[in-house]
Amino acid sequence: MKMKGAKAVHYDSGPNMTPLVDVVMVILIFLMLAGQFGTTQFLLSKQSIKQKGGGGDYKRDPNKPVETPLEIRVDNSRDGVGFIAQGTGIKPTGDAATLQAELIGKREAFNNAGTPTDQIQVVLYPGRNVKYKYLISIYQAALQAKYEKIAFATSH
């Protein structure tokens, strides 16, 4: 005997929304954990602004110091054993002690011109395949020359 009543109560429930709700909740939880609430600043950088952008409405704060970059390019020597460090106003050298003396002279020149040491930023530009031990010796030479801000940049 067939029962017709059990099959007559069929209704179309539509697509299954459970996976969609699960994915949306995971994204919402990730954004809540990754974000910060109540901040008014977005993507701040400690780098100074070097050029004026297209807006033209930006005015530099006169109370903030302007950082003066001192760029040092580091390359492998011709024989591949040492390094060659050179920069603006710095003679090419392959010795950390000579570089330190050059950096001290450059710092004193900046200071005599009225630029304090805390406004000078030394930026090291390592060349391709420069060994880390050479970069460390150059970094230590800059520290011993009493520079406070030393940064590394991408290779040139």
87-129 pLDDT, tens digit per residue, is 877 888 888 888 889 889 888 888 888 888 888 888 888 888 8
Q: How far apart are CA 43 and CA 28, in angstroms?
A: 21
Contacts of 34 (CB under 8 A, 6+ apart): none
- 7 in a domain, yes or no? no
Residue 92 lies in domain: 68-152
What is the per-residue pLDDT across 32-47, written as a single tens digit (0 to 9) for each? 888 766 655 555 555 5
**What is the pTM (predicted TM-score) of this model?**
0.56
CA 137 to chain centre: 22
Q: What is the pLDDT of residue 29?
A: 92
Comparing 52-56, 116-120, 132-136, 150-154, which segment has the lowest mean pLDDT? 52-56
pLDDT at 152 over 60: yes
- 107 in a domain, yes or no? yes
In angstroms, the first-to-last Cα distance of the chain is: 87
- 36 in a domain, yes or no? no
Residue among 98, 61, 87, 77 at smallest CA distance from 150: 87
pLDDT more than 90, % of the chain: 8
pLDDT at 155 over 70: no
* Total domains, the chain: 1
**122: CATH:** 3.30.420.270
- 125 in a domain, yes or no? yes
Q: How confident is the model at residue 24 (pLDDT cuts 50, 70, 90)?
A: very high
